[in-house]
Structure 1
Amino acid sequence: MNLAIFLNIRFYYDGERYTADERYFEFWTSFTEYFKKVILCVPVLTTRERKGAFKVDLKKKKVEICHLPYYETTIELDKNSFYIMPQVKKIVFNNISEWDIVRAVVPNILGISILNQARLYSKPCFAYIRGNYKKSLYEFTGFKKIAAYLIAQFLELRIKNIIKNIPTFVVGEELYNKFQKLNASVFKIVVSLISTNDIVKEITIPARLQKIRLLNIGRLSPEKGVSYLINGVYKTREKYGYDVTLTIVGSGMEESHLKEKIKKMGLNGCVKFLGYIPYNSEIINLYRNSDVFILPSLTEGVPKVILEALANGLPVIATSVGGIPEIIKDGENGILIPPADSEAIANAIHRLINNKNLIIDMIKKGLETIKEYTLEKQRERVIKILRSYYHFNN
C-alpha cells in the first residue's frame, strides 16, 4: 500500500536533493516501516540556491515527492488560492490512482481540498489538526488580522464538515475537546521525532543551584511569549538575587525588539541570542549544557522542543496552553505556569533553585514521560487506529 501525505512545509529542490524548512516530515517518512511507499505532497521551490536546513532522505526510493505549487506562507496561499487550487486538483487527479490512503494537515485550504478529492474517489483518508489557527493571529494587525480571522472561521467550518466521517488526529486536550463532539473518531497524538535511542541514560544536576542556565528554543514572534520570559529573568535576578543566565535559540520578527529590550534592562551580560540553529549535535549540546528548559508560549500545540528537553534530561517550565499539559504535569516532570505572567516565571525559577530534590525527581519523571512519546510509540498508535478503522493489513 502507498500512503500519500499533504504537509504544509516548504520544500526545496536544487536538481540533486530535496531539503525542507522543518524536520516534522521525518515522523511521516518513518511510516515506510508499514507502507510500500510514502508520497509527500508538498509545496516545492526549484532553486539552485541552497535553502532548507533539513535534508530529505528518500530512503532508497521508498519516499517520493509530489510537487505542489510553491507558496511562502498560508496567507500567501489564501490570497493566490484561485490560481493554486486548480493546479493542485489536477495534480491530485493525475496521481490519486497510486494512492491507497491519504492524509492531510488542516486547517489549510489545500489539505481540505485534497481530503475532499480523496473522499470523492472513495480513498481511505485521515486528517491531522496541528493547531488552533484562530489563536495564532498575533503577527497580524488591522485589516490583515480581520481578514485572517475570517479565513480561519471559514476553514474551521470546512473542517467540521470533513472530519465527521473520517478518523482525525489532533494535538492536545484543547483541540480534542473542541472536535471530539463532532466525531467519535477523534484521537490525540503527539508527532514526536524523539527515538528511543535519543533518550539520555544518565541525569546531570547543576553543581550550583544559585547559578542556573536557562534555555529557550523557538521562533521569535509575539505568540511565543519571549518578552515575558525576559521580564521573568529580570525579576528573578532583582527579586531573589540569583545568577540566572538565559540562552535564546531562534529568529523571527521580534528579534530586534527583544535585543533592544535586553539592552534597556541591562541584561546584555546574562541573556544571549544564538539565532536559528537546526536540530543537530550543537542543539543537543545546548540542551545538555543547560539546567532548565523554559517555554513561555501564549499558544501552542505540543511543542517538539519540550519533548527534546525531556529526552535530554532537563526539567521544564512551560505555560499551561494548548497540548503542553498533555505532556507536562505540574510538580511532577515540570512546572506549569499561566501565560503572559512574568512573576509566575520568576517564582517557578525560584521554586526549582530552592529544591534540588525536586529537580532530580522532575528529571527522572521526565525521562519516564518521554518513553511514552517516542516516534516509535506514536507511529504504532496511528497505525493501530487506521487498521481498526479501515480494516487493512500492511
Structure 2
Amino acid sequence: MKILLIDNASLTPVNSALCCEPKTGEFAKELQALGNEVTMYGQIVESENIHAFNIQENGINVVGHHRRKLKIFNYILLYLLIIPQIFKSDFIYIFYPSAFKYISILCFIFNKPYGLYVRGEMGLKNGVSSFIYKKAYKVFTVTDYFTTLINSLSKSNIAETIRPMINLNEKDIMPVNKKNISGIFKVLFLARLEEDKGVKEILYAIYKLKKMDYNLKLILVGDGGYKKEAMHIIDKLDISDFVELKGAIYDIDKVKNMYLDSNVYILPTYHEGFPRTLYEAMIFGTPIITTFVGGIPYLMRDKFNCVQIKVKSVESIVNALIYSINNHEKMLDYAKNAQTTVKPIINSTRLSHAEALHNAIHNI
C-alpha cells in the first residue's frame, strides 16, 4: 500500500537531511515495517525547533517544498504540487486540523481514499469539517470526545479512538513521585514554547510567587516560536533565578527523569486534542495541573486526578501552585488516581496507531 502522509507540522532541514517530529517519524517507520510504502509531504521551514527524526535516513520517502514568503501563494503552490503525489498514492492520511486539511477535498475530487488523524479542536464542528468527515474512509482520534462528536456529525461510525502515540505502556507506570518538598518546589512545563501553550501566563505566575517568597523553580522543556519572547519576559520580570530553560529533549529516559524530579507538571494550554505529555505525567506519577480544553476534561477530573486551572489566567495558576505546595499528600493521591485512569488507555494489548491504520486500509 502506497500511503501519502501529511503531518500538520513542517519539515525541518538539518544539513542535507529533512527531519520531522520523532513521534510522527516513528509512526511512519512502523507503517513501513508493516509492509507499506510511506511518503511524507510538507513544507520545509528553517526553524530553531529542530525536529530530531531524520526521515530519509530511516528509509522513508519525503517530498518537501520550501516555504514562500507570500502566505497565500505558498499554500496555493503546495496544494498544486501535491496533486501528482495524490495520484501516485493508494491512500492519503492527513493529520487534522491543519493548513493542509483541504487536501481531503482534492482526494474527494480525484476519487482517492483518504483518512484523518484528528488531534486538535480547531474548526472541529464547522460545516467544512463535517463534509470532510463524511467523505473520509477512516478517522482516528486522540480522545473519545472527538470520536463521539465526529460520528455524530458524520452520522456514521467512521471515527475510532486510538491508543496514544507514545512508546509507553502499563509496564512503564512508575510509583507516584513522593519527592520531598522541603527544598525547592519544582514545576515542570514540557511542551512546545508557543504562546497558546500558556507560557506567558506561567512566567507571570512565577513572578508573583517569587514576590510572595515561595521557593520554587520552573523548568521549561521545549523549543518553539515563543522562545525569544519567553526569554524577554524572564529578563523583564527578573525571574531568571526561578526559571530554567532546558530546550527540547527527545530521549525518553531523560524525559522520564524530568518528570520524576519534578513536584508537579503544569500545562496552561489554550486549546488541545489530548496532549501526549499528560499521559507521560500520569505514567511517571507526577501530579498534574492543567486547563480543561479540547479532549482534556473527558479524561481528567478536577481534584480527582489533577488540579484544574483557567485558560489565560495568571491568578488561577498562582492559586493552583500554592494549593499544590500546601496539599502535597492530596496531590500524590490525585497522581495515583491518574495512574488508574491511564492504565487501560496505554494497555499493550491495544493496537498501535500504525497497526490500527494498516488494518483499516488493507482491503483498499
Whether TM exceeds 0.5 here: the answer is yes
Residue-by-residue CA offset, 1:170-217 (whole Å, 9 max, x unaligned): 344664565443213333446421322772433331213563100112
Match of 2:94 among 99, 104, 107: 104
Match of 2:195 in 1: 222
Structure 1: which 5+ residue stretches go unaligned? 136-152
Match of 1:24 in 2: 24
Q: Does 1:164 find its partner at 2:139?
A: no
Match of 1:141 in 2: none
Match of 1:130 among 105, 119, 142: 119
Q: How many residues align?
A: 358
Alignment of 1:265-304 (within 5 A): 265-304=237-276
Match of 2:336 among 364, 373, 392: 364
CA contact (8 A) 2:86 2:92 kept: no
Residues in 2 aligned to 1:216 and 1:237: alpha-carbon distance in whole angstroms: 17
Change (3 A) 1:129 1:55: same
Residues in 2 aligned to 1:385 and 1:229: alpha-carbon distance in whole angstroms: 38
Output the amino acid matched with 1:87. Answer: L
Q: Secondary structure at the match of 2:94?
A: strand
Percent identical: 20
Q: Is the helix fraction higher in 1 or 2?
A: 1
Alignment of 1:1-394 (within 5 A): 1=1, 3-11=3-11, 19-31=19-31, 35-43=34-42, 52-56=51-55, 64-65=60-61, 67-72=62-67, 78-93=72-87, 95-96=88-89, 99=90, 101-108=91-98, 110-113=100-103, 116-117=106-107, 120-121=110-111, 123=113, 125-133=114-122, 157-166=127-136, 167-172=138-143, 175-176=146-147, 179-183=150-154, 184=156, 185-189=158-162, 191-196=164-169, 199-209=172-182, 211-239=184-212, 241-374=213-346, 376=348, 379-380=351-352
Q: Secondary structure at the match of 1:181?
A: helix
TM-score (norm 1): 0.75
Change (3 A) 1:251 1:105: closer
CA RMSD of aligned residues (A): 3.8
How far has the Cα of 1:320 moved from its partner? Answer: 0.8
Change (3 A) 1:221 1:110: closer
Residue-by-residue CA offset, 1:288-346 (whole Å, 9 max, x unaligned): 21111101111222112222222222111011111222342222221121111222212
Output the amino acid matched with 2:266. Answer: I
Higher relative contact order (CA closer than 8 Å, sequence separation 6+): 2
Q: Secondary structure at the match of 1:314?
A: coil
Output the amino acid matched with 1:365. Answer: N
Residues in 2 aligned to 1:385 and 1:21: alpha-carbon distance in whole angstroms: 19
CA contact (8 A) 1:104 1:115 kept: no
CA contact (8 A) 1:13 1:44 kept: no
CA contact (8 A) 1:173 1:322 kept: no
TM-score (norm 2): 0.80
Residue-by-residue CA offset, 1:73-97 (whole Å, 9 max, x unaligned): 9x9775323333232111221x22x
Residues in 1 aligned to 2:20 and 2:104: alpha-carbon distance in whole angstroms: 21
Output the amino acid matched with 2:205. Answer: G
Change (3 A) 1:203 1:56: farther
